[in-house]
Structure 1
Amino acid sequence: MNKLQAMEVFVQVVDAGGFTRAAENMQLPKATVSTLIQALETSLAAKLLHRTTRHVSVTADGAAYYERCLRILSDVREAEESLSRTRLSPSGRLRVDAPTGLSSEVIVPALPDFFERYPDIQLELGSSDRTVDLIEEGVDCAVRGGQLGDSSLIARRVGVMHFLTCATPAYLDRYGRPTHPNELLRHRCVNYFSSRTGKIFDWDFTRDGERVQVALPGLIALNDTNSYTAAGLAGLGIVQMPNFLMEPMIKDGRFEAILDGWISDPLPVHVVYPQNRHLSAKVRVFVEWIAELFSNHPGMRLPARAAL
């Protein structure tokens, strides 16, 4: 028995919901499909499928084996792809995760260029502010802001996020305009907390060698960029967000920048991916494209010699 062929046949049977459709999809005799599945079950000493005259369904063992087969076959295809001409024109499904604001404001508007270059890639872009488990959730690569915690992943620094501290004009008219970070202790601030640890992030500021880092009072703390922005626009307090999000809203008058001259610590932005994806042509071209995109974006580009 060719084990890889048997795995491919098993995946096709599960996806198609039956032997006949799987045989048609693979252009194999139905008897060959049935024989390969039986041989696979014999070699594994496990029943993978429930069979009736009308329907085929997976057993509990079969469902677990199906997920493993998907990963193995994907790895095999990507290993072949990395050594073939498809390096010049990569194709197939690519699953990426990125922070909500970065995805909607920077990455998605630029995707027409990506698909113009790589029309055969089918991109699945997950947008959330939580830290996904790339291995567990089957994600090929992720764009992450902040310090990295998982040393098992390969990381490439591709950009940096700068922050602005702002409030709505209505809030500032009602509560006044702070001129020093310590004055924020008398204000309402919209806090942001880690979806992984639940910790509320401190606010930090630097100006002319003076550094201030404080935990600020607030009516609300959130862990999603869209909700955080909405809270600021609702007048719930002062907010601190990446400048690529804030500048359009400052320009149209929804927010006003405060604390002139005070700079918050910028956050590095990396693309991370599992070690078994380092040969993938799809991942390689996406990482290169993201690095190029951010290098041309005034709110994201790295300073000279900062890329690692």
Structure 2
Amino acid sequence: MDRLTSMAVFVKAAETGSFASAGEALGMSSQLVGKHVRFLEERFGMRLISRTTRRQSLTEAGRAFYERSKAVLAEVEAAEALADSLQAVPRGKLRVNAPVSWGAYSLTPMLARYVRKYPEVSVDLTLTDRVVDLIDEGYEAVIRVVPIADSGLIARPLAPYRLVVCASPAYLAERGTPAVPEDLAEHECVGFAYWARPPDVDWEFKSAQGTHRVRLKSRFSINNGQALRAAAVEGAGIVLQPRDMLQEDLAAGRLVELLPGFEAPSLPMHLLYARDRRPTPKLRSFIDFVVETFGA
């Protein structure tokens, strides 16, 4: 028998004064009430209730055990209430990992809104272009801008990571403006070297005529999107970077979008998290917030 259940039955028997009354209150037979009490007596090697044909009363040990049992059951009830509340209200620390550029320019503003909506959640955000191990490194959610292999994690697709090709007015004044993707082969293109791959050597565009794949000529590669942006603004060459990151420079005229008749490449983006039959409210709320904001 379960000790906590037997303790609860014993407490009810002590409070009602009979096995029959306790059974009626608990929805069980008086015989089953007696079995629970005898289970405790045999387990602890002491009589808890003195029983005669006319009445029953607690022994000295029974009175002490009754008080302690009430306290234990109250603690259990409080723990269950706490667990229920934790399942109902998002709270606690949430560890998230995301790529550097996208995390800085897109995810961080969303997180500012998220923590305002859920004031009992704190977020520990790590930005890195390295592919992290969600389980081993203790993250609850990871956003990845790479094709996803079968990892045993749940992968929620998000809107593709949109890129734009652009350069500074000064660079274009000196070198000319490419009209078609094939013209890029004659330009300086600043490559992006990141996590598990070498610098870009080919860029791919699409148009009504099909796919255009261009082999780049680049003397300059950088592993950070913000540094690539700075290089482009200073006229180092043509870059292919996220539209979100370059939007202000494009609006201000510091950069000029190129090849308007051709669709720049985009990258698949996913939100990853571990399989769990009952995700915590903080993780569930974060997943919903991300999908609502960046969903496909």
* TM-score, normalised via structure 2 length: 0.67
- Per-residue CA deviation, residues 99-144 of structure 1 (Å, 9 max, x unaligned), is 2222222222233321122111110011122212222221111111
One-letter amino acid of the structure 1 residue matched with residue 239 of structure 2: V
Measure, in 1, the Cα distance between the counterparts of 2:237 and 2:277.
43
Higher-Rg member (1/2)? 2
Q: Closer, same or farther in 2 for the Cα pair 1:81/1:116, shift >3 Å? A: farther
Q: Does 1:255 align with 2:255?
A: yes
Measure, in 1, the Cα distance between the counterparts of 2:139 and 2:175.
45
Q: Does 1:232 align with 2:232?
A: yes
Percent sequence identity over matched residues?
A: 31
Measure, in 1, the Cα distance between the counterparts of 2:156 and 2:164.
25
| Aligned pairs for 1:119-138 within 5 A | 119-138=119-138
Measure, in 1, the Cα distance between the counterparts of 2:146 and 2:190.
19
1:294: how far off? 2.0
Measure, in 2, the Cα distance between the counterparts of 1:189 and 1:93.
42
1:199: how far off? 5.5
Measure, in 2, the Cα distance between the counterparts of 1:277 and 1:216.
47
RMSD over aligned Cα atoms? 2.3
1:276: how far off? 5.1
| SS of residue matched to 1:203 | strand
Equivalent residues, number: 217
One-letter amino acid of the structure 2 residue matched with residue 187 of structure 1: H
CA contact (8 A) 1:249 1:255 kept: yes
1:223 is aligned to 223
Measure, in 1, the Cα distance between the counterparts of 2:278 and 2:259.
43
CA contact (8 A) 1:167 1:238 kept: yes
Measure, in 2, the Cα distance between the counterparts of 1:276 and 1:153.
10
Measure, in 1, the Cα distance between the counterparts of 2:272 and 2:199.
23
| Aligned pairs for 1:138-177 within 5 A | 138-177=138-177
For structure 1, which runs of at least 5 residues remain unmatched after alignment? 1-79, 296-301, 303-308
Q: Closer, same or farther in 2 for the Cα pair 1:132/1:150, shift >3 Å? A: farther
Measure, in 2, the Cα distance between the counterparts of 1:82 and 1:266.
45
1:103 is aligned to 103
* TM-score, normalised via structure 1 length: 0.65
1:208 is aligned to 208
1:189 is aligned to 189
Measure, in 2, the Cα distance between the counterparts of 1:220 and 1:275.
42
For structure 2, which runs of at least 5 residues remain unmatched after alignment? 1-79
